Structure 1
Amino acid sequence: MAALTRSHRQRGRVVEAEHVADGVRRIVLEVDHPEPASPGTHVDVELPIRGGRQVRSYSVVRSEDGGRRLTLSVQLSPASRGGSEAMHALAVGEELTVTGPVQSFPLSVGAGRYVLVAGGIGVTALVAMASALRRRGADYELVLVGRSRRVMAYVDELRAEHGERVRVHVDDEGTPLSVPDLVGEIASAPNADTTELYMCGPIGLMDAIRSSWTEHALPPTSLRFETFGSSGRFDAEDFVVRLPQHDREVTVPRDASILEALTAAGVETLSDCRKGECGLCLAKIVDVDGTVDHRDVFLSEAQKQRSNSLCLCVSRAVADGGDRASLTLHLT
């Protein structure tokens, strides 16, 4: 995506920038054309990456002054494709081109109970939701999950605001989250059929919750999610994509997606969310030398195991001991 296409484009000026956890930078933008950002919204940000302009999406943590001030928080990823590095390099006074708030993760009204599960930096998508539920007087719980407390942003702030409604699970403190226990509690409660779970975080965590949710026969429409497409089961590495229908072979570097590599090579593809959610960029896998790292939440676990298709925006391939993995794809 070379330019912003959703919502209106506007100027955003950095008015605050500080670290709120190890590797997590809080950035406050003041925008030219304010509009309130409802819980679950994000903004698309145009950034200078690899000599060009690329778009990244970041959840709106807070919306203040009628939407004039938008708070984002970005984790510096060791496998960054350039977005988190560019955001961490921002200083007060710098200007960016951003969209207005884009809604792709709406908070419903009327559920009997709400459970919000945030894995790591996924908390950014749920801060505003928790605040909205508190103001409504809703029955809700906020579950914060992380490897270490030092890399978990907003924990103290959220505990001060929501008190005992916050549960904190930290791996290196010996209190990891038990997904079966969490979903089992929901399933055994009297209001199970009217409980909605909203989750954002690593793919592994969300896949585990989805699997347990299905095992307990809970309503699939009551499970909502926001994703970070950079989460994968393997470290990113270079691999090759072959397109017989175009007579092309394209190398995908470790800091770019298949979609980005194809676009840079002049191969046109359809896409929208760029987070592995919508399935618009789905491509057929003709052959694979290596292992496919499905990083989407569009395909079911059974479909991922069959590995007949993948989402170009987030999926990757890793070598099984050879020099480089390769994928032969057919674009639909």
Structure 2
Amino acid sequence: MTALDLKVTEIAEAAELIRAVTLEAPDGSPLPAYDPGAHVDVHLPDGTTRSYSLIDWDGGAAAPAAYRFGIRLEAESTGGSRYMHGLSEGDTVAVEGPSNDFPLAGGDAPSVLIAGGIGITPIVSMATALKARGAPYALHYAVRSEAAAAFADRLAEAHGDALSMHHDDRAGGPLDVAGIVKAADPSAHVYVCGPKAMIKAVKAAAEAEGYPAEQIHFELFDAPADQDGDTAFEVELASSGEVYTIPPGRTIIEVLEEAGEDLIYDCQRGDCGICQTDVLEGEPDHRDVVLSSEERASNKVMQICVSRAKSARLKLDL
């Protein structure tokens, strides 16, 4: 797919550490269409790319005049958010896409939209589409504090009583996702985007209420994080007998791909399931949000983009 060179036409501060960035074609022509939940890949100066969800406020995604984003400046940024926060109006940005790993289901079934922090960005487009469709929906937006609530006034104006805001500091704790799911229509589709802890809580609550997997949708906005106590472990490939050492701070995918192994993967955040691999021997340390409780307990599969090992060696069906 060929990247488009787009011009930064507007920059605004949306909330604490969150910047709203608008990109348009230099000649003003419409940009490629996208569906709710879609993202584009932004090419960084170092040759890497970062994915950012597209925000549709007015239902213009079928022929968008602009691409709009909300980007949170991460303290441990590896380049993406720092680059986006360093842009100025008039700059040129290379963008590839759109693509969609977090689509909105069709039909008129009720929808429960749950967003945490910067996870509100794809949820905005979903709420816009559901309102236009006339489908029932509820939008729950959780943030640490009022200062961290991006687009809160605009969301309130657009969605009225359908929007419920939650501030952790005022409520004395996190959003009661289990209560939200329990109170929802059993036929509802549940969508959640935000930190891993929130996604895991929503997924567990929905599964406990008997929701089938096809009614639970999620996208992770946390990058995989190293954990204190991470140690090196070995991975043996069943097909060749090759053994690789996975040191702290590196993933199975990074080490194997660097060694020339051919792998299939996508998100590298542990939320898409593309890299799921059978475990033949050993005990994984599961760090994804894809697997069910039963799948985790079985230790028969793992997501090799983020998960590590509790045993000294894993033998994988690769």
Inter-CA distance 281–194: structure 2 relative to 1 (3 Å threshold): closer
The 5-angstrom pairing of residues 49-68 of structure 1 reads 52-62=46-56, 66-68=63-65
Check whether the contact 1:227–1:277 (CA below 8 A) recurs between aligned residues.
yes
The 5-angstrom pairing of residues 1-332 of structure 1 reads 7-31=1-25, 34-48=31-45, 52-62=46-56, 66-174=63-171, 176-186=174-184, 192-230=185-223, 235=227, 239-240=231-232, 242-244=234-236, 245-253=241-249, 257-264=251-258, 266-283=260-277, 287=282, 292=285, 294=287, 296-315=288-307, 328=314, 330=316, 332=318
**Paired amino acid for 1:154:** F
Inter-CA distance 207–85: structure 2 relative to 1 (3 Å threshold): same
How far the C-alpha of 1:162 sits from its partner, in A, is: 1.0
Aligned residues: 306
- Where 1:160 maps in the other structure, the secondary structure is helix
How far the C-alpha of 1:96 sits from its partner, in A, is: 3.0
Q: Percent identity?
A: 31
Inter-CA distance 156–241: structure 2 relative to 1 (3 Å threshold): farther
- Superposed CA offset, 1:140-193 (max 9, x none): 11100122221221112101111111101111012642122111211xxxxx24
Output the CA distance in 2 between the equivalents of 1:157 and 1:70: 17
Inter-CA distance 279–107: structure 2 relative to 1 (3 Å threshold): closer
How far the C-alpha of 1:125 sits from its partner, in A, is: 0.9
How far the C-alpha of 1:223 sits from its partner, in A, is: 1.8
Output the CA distance in 1 between the equivalents of 2:253 and 2:75: 20
Bigger shift: residues 30-39 or 66-75: 30-39
Check whether the contact 1:17–1:91 (CA below 8 A) recurs between aligned residues.
yes
How far the C-alpha of 1:114 sits from its partner, in A, is: 1.6
Q: Which runs of 5+ in 2 are unaligned?
A: none
- Superposed CA offset, 1:270-309 (max 9, x none): 2123332333323456557xx9350x22222233345554
Inter-CA distance 196–247: structure 2 relative to 1 (3 Å threshold): closer
Output the CA distance in 2 between the equivalents of 1:219 and 1:14: 42
Q: Which runs of 5+ in 1 are unaligned?
A: 1-6, 187-191, 319-324
Query: What TM-score, normalized to structure 1?
Result: 0.79
Query: What TM-score, normalized to structure 2?
Result: 0.82
- Where 2:24 maps in the other structure, the secondary structure is strand
